[in-house]
Chains A and B, each alone.
Chain A
Amino acid sequence: MNKKNKLIWNVSLIVALLVLLFVLEQVMPSGSMLFTVLKKGAIYALVAVSMNLLNGFTGLFSLGQAGFMLLGAYTYAILTIPPESRASVYQYYDGGIIQFAIPVPLALIAGGLIAAGFAFLIGLPVLRLKSDYLAIATLGFAEIIRAVFQWDKLGPLTNGSNLLRSFPTFQSVLYPFIVSGICIALIVMLINSTYGRAFKAIRDDEIAAEAMGINLAHHKRLAFVISSFFAGVSGGLLAMYQTTIQASMFKSAMTYEILLIVVIGGIGSVTGSCISSFLFIACSEWWLRFLDNENFYIGSFHVPLLRAGFRKVVFAVVIMAMVLFYRQGIMGTKEFSVEALQNLFRKIFLRKSVKKAGDTHES
């Protein structure tokens, strides 16, 4: 299959998906669980892919996703609350210090830029050290930033520990899909570029990469800053989805959820992260909700063990099982593509050995 064909296939798939979403939105009740999953899934897909760019493709282990999302979410909210609502939102702080609002797309980008700026500053000292330190430093950063944003003194800007609300939210399920889609496409283009190859080289062997002329500090910083930028954007989207935000939402548990999505999807697979993000959100928000329900009956049989929080236990067991027995995740480092699917069918039906399936590494 040549490049042009592949492009046509991919574009038509995307268009078909968007049309499908549009139609669904017209015919189904807007409160449907399906839309919750689709919106949140799209947002988590973006942040999972951004984490994968760093953890999976560059081999740097960062645990700051929740912190960067917080920055993105707050930047977005602070910059988009309409001036007329500010008095009521910032009621304890005399309407806050910002008295203007900018368009939604600009605010999302601003959120990304703020997150990227912080990443740059953290990266300056930390990325010179062994990579384990990045995990510790980013985890610490996420905890600190959460506390700082609830600090009373910053209230005129962040509204302290009170909710931020009244900012623009999603009008349609298409919005998070399109924004996430564009961002993920950008990340994929980056991964397939010469810079992406350098990232993978660093992941595979730092010493060899450096000996081949790849400036480690520069490239690690690039990957970290870019990853954080997209985490920031996804934070903005999350704010739109949640309709209200508060710093205390962005706990490290959120980072672990994202990490889990990346691991389940396959470290080093973009499509894996996307698929597993929808699966994960569907399970946690919808399909496995019954696990938290103490009074769950099948016929007249009262299912034992179920109680609030049991879902988390099941998740924990799943994580352990994944890590112990299935480290590859759903996709390993492979990518899902039309070509791979074709090859798979050919393999199954023709029972012929087909050339190695699926790797779109150098498409």
Chain B
Amino acid sequence: MSHEKKETDTVLKLENLTMQFGGVIAVDNVSLEVGKGEILSLIGPNGAGKTTAFNMVTGVYAPTNGAIYYKGEKIVQNTPQGRMKKLYQGENADLYAGKRVIAPTPDKITKLGIARTFQNIRLFKSQTVFENILIAKHMRRTSNLFTATFRLNAKEEAQMRQESEELLRIMELEDVRDELATSLPYGKQRHLEIARALATKPELLLLDEPAAGMNPQETLELTQFIGRIRGEFGLTIFMIEHHMDLVMEISDRIHVLDFGKSIAEGKPDEVRNDPRVIEAYLGGAQDE
């Protein structure tokens, strides 16, 4: 499934994004676009700035400089301010100067329809598998404190539960429904994180190393699974991954970061043969 990208088809657009921590530039002037229905993989060696890029999209960090658009609407924008004004070593220092600072909190981003999973799994540890999914349904509630406390929202509550059960079924987690989330094997926990993200009804799903710690068999299943949910839920997927089999198999396009900089972008075959990528990353990783 390849895409001729048109402007209207763009779901997510990063524009001149830079993230500087103290003196370290973790993401350096990165621009990229994710088209509707596309799977774009973000790859690069350890410490390349991939997770940081995700954290900027999801509102965990405000970028030091740059802007982010979601479905054509500007959702994040910043320019070096305060102490950073002097410290800033990145590019385009004045490009966004004087423009409005937009820095929404992560919950606002999720509400727009962008959900994510975490590289180091972050499940609600005292809650069961089912409850983990149910919690994510809270965001789209129409009830308020009063109606929820007095169960005047019984219908909505029933629907939340029913939709969560449905997700359990799709994610093949029914048999562990009432177990503590953290008691699941690693692979299942990653599935649960995806299920929980889906429970927020996203259009864009950000997966941070969904196959980390999985064996080849599990990775293969996950590959098929990601393809399946993309169709079933009409998702656009922006994914960080180290398993090259998975990335090459499933991605429509691949974007490569190295030391915070974009070094290549293109179809899997193009990227695979790009000498700069091979030098930076693939050469070593392909032997795995």
CB of B242, distance to nearest CB on chain A (Å):
21
Contact string against A for B residues 104-132, beta-carbon threshold 8 Å, 1 for contact and 0 otherwise: 01110011000110100011111110110
Docked pose: A136 CA to B107 CA in angstroms: 27
- What B residues does A201 contact at CB under 8 A? 124, 127, 135, 138
A215 at the interface (CB under 8 A from B): yes
A210 at the interface (CB under 8 A from B): yes
- What A residues does B125 contact at CB under 8 A? 204-205
Docked pose: A181 CA to B15 CA in angstroms: 57
B172 at the interface (CB under 8 A from A): no
* B107 A208 Cβ-Cβ under 8 A: no
- What B residues does A194 contact at CB under 8 A? 137-138, 141, 143, 148, 153, 157, 160
Contact string against B for A residues 203-232, beta-carbon threshold 8 Å, 1 for contact and 0 otherwise: 111011111111111000010000000000
CB of B142, distance to nearest CB on chain A (Å):
11
Contact string against A for B residues 143-166, beta-carbon threshold 8 Å, 1 for contact and 0 otherwise: 101001111010001001000000
* B111 A195 Cβ-Cβ under 8 A: no
Docked pose: A211 CA to B199 CA in angstroms: 12
* B148 A215 Cβ-Cβ under 8 A: no
Q: A186-B149, A197-B131, A356-B178 are in contact. Are A211 and B106 (CB under 8 A)?
A: yes
CB of B210, distance to nearest CB on chain A (Å):
15
Across the two chains, which residue of chain B brings its CB closest to A217? B105
Which of B40-91 touch A at CB < 8 Å? 58, 60
- What B residues does A361 contact at CB under 8 A? 127-128, 131
B236 at the interface (CB under 8 A from A): no
* B151 A212 Cβ-Cβ under 8 A: no
* A205 B124 Cβ-Cβ under 8 A: yes
B251 at the interface (CB under 8 A from A): no
Q: CB < 8 Å: which of A189, A197, A210, A222 contacts B107?
A: A210
CB of B279, distance to nearest CB on chain A (Å):
35
* A200 B124 Cβ-Cβ under 8 A: yes
Docked pose: A333 CA to B116 CA in angstroms: 29
* B149 A195 Cβ-Cβ under 8 A: yes
Q: A194-B160, A201-B124 are in contact. Are A212 and B136 (CB under 8 A)?
A: yes
- What B residues does A210 contact at CB under 8 A? 105-107, 110
Contact string against B for A residues 327-363, beta-carbon threshold 8 Å, 1 for contact and 0 otherwise: 0000001000000000000000000000010000110
Q: A195-B145, A201-B135, A213-B107 are in contact. Are A208 and B157 (CB under 8 A)?
A: no
- What B residues does A211 contact at CB under 8 A? 58, 60, 106-107, 110, 115-116, 118, 122
B170 at the interface (CB under 8 A from A): no
Docked pose: A349 CA to B148 CA in angstroms: 40
* B123 A190 Cβ-Cβ under 8 A: no
- What B residues does A193 contact at CB under 8 A? 148-149, 151
* B134 A197 Cβ-Cβ under 8 A: yes
* B118 A189 Cβ-Cβ under 8 A: no
Q: CB < 8 Å: which of B123, B145, B150 contacts A208?
A: B123
Docked pose: A361 CA to B128 CA in angstroms: 10
A198 at the interface (CB under 8 A from B): yes
* B110 A213 Cβ-Cβ under 8 A: yes
Across the two chains, which residue of chain B brings its CB closest to A190? B149
Q: CB < 8 Å: which of A189, A209, A222 contacts B150?
A: A189
Docked pose: A212 CA to B223 CA in angstroms: 24
Which of A238-288 touch B at CB < 8 Å? 268
* B122 A208 Cβ-Cβ under 8 A: yes
- What A residues does B141 contact at CB under 8 A? 194
* A198 B149 Cβ-Cβ under 8 A: no
* A208 B138 Cβ-Cβ under 8 A: no
Candidate in A193, A216, A268, A333 with the most chain B CB atoms within 10 angstroms: A193
* A207 B122 Cβ-Cβ under 8 A: yes
* B178 A200 Cβ-Cβ under 8 A: no
B139 at the interface (CB under 8 A from A): yes
- What A residues does B130 contact at CB under 8 A? 362
Q: CB < 8 Å: which of A208, A213, A215, A222 contacts B118?
A: A208
* B200 A213 Cβ-Cβ under 8 A: yes
Could you give 27 example pairs across A and B, Cβ below 8 Å?
A: A193-B149, A194-B138, A195-B138, A198-B135, A200-B124, A200-B126, A201-B127, A204-B126, A207-B122, A208-B122, A209-B135, A210-B105, A210-B106, A211-B58, A211-B110, A211-B116, A212-B136, A212-B139, A212-B197, A213-B110, A213-B136, A214-B107, A214-B135, A214-B138, A268-B126, A362-B130, A362-B134
List 3 A-B pairs, minimum CB-CB distance, nearest first: A213-B139, A213-B110, A208-B122
